[in-house]
Copies of this chain bind each other. A is one copy, B any other.
């Protein structure tokens, strides 16, 4: 398998954790989202993914999969061990809900595209952009913190899809100096995950394209 990735992309980070947990070996194709005006915007990459985003997983059949949660659900269906979703339908819905609060309600607003729009198109300064970023992370983390039970992981005793969404978002939040004291359960789940080799190996700083 070939993963088109950028070391700092939260969405690529989620997929790297999934591949590591499943024990799937893969080659990284680094796509730098800032260098050369964004390598993701070059025609070569647009031919791979019309949305011009990472991650993209190219599998042995020649199929090319996009969107991190779709890729992870695919991996979980085809490589079921260890499972990233519980067996019970209600429990699965709860794990997916926590995952989607992060992947739909925090990350898209805190991602580089809207931050660039705020800066370049709307002319905001860094403090206003940081306040926007903090706002969405804090609002989303408040909901997650209120929804989860004691861990060690975000949804209980097993690592789930929700942890794969959490750890990259916490990494990102720390990089942008969001105070996390109000979220002891989130901080504890993040720490528990990062003790696992699959998470550690997926960290941005451990990628071949890390700067």
Contacts and interface: CB of A to CB of B under 8 A. Distances in A.
A134 to B, nearest CB: 12
Interface string A22-33: 000000000000
Interface string A88-117: 011011101101110111011100001001
A124 interface: yes
A142 to B, nearest CB: 7
A71 interface: yes
B65 A90 contact: yes
Contacts of A105: 51, 53, 108
A94 B37 CA distance: 28
Nearest to A135: B117
Nearest to A114: B109
A77 B89 contact: yes
Contacts of A183: none
Contacts of A53: 105
B108 A67 contact: no
Contacts of A61: 90
A56 to B, nearest CB: 10
Given A101-B51, A103-B104, A93 B109 contact: no
Interface in A111-163: 114, 117-118, 121-122, 124, 128, 131-132, 135, 140, 142-143, 146-147
25 contacts: A50-B146, A50-B147, A51-B101, A51-B143, A63-B90, A65-B90, A65-B93, A65-B97, A67-B96, A67-B100, A67-B104, A69-B104, A70-B96, A70-B100, A74-B89, A74-B93, A74-B96, A103-B104, A104-B104, A108-B108, A114-B114, A121-B135, A122-B122, A122-B124, A122-B132
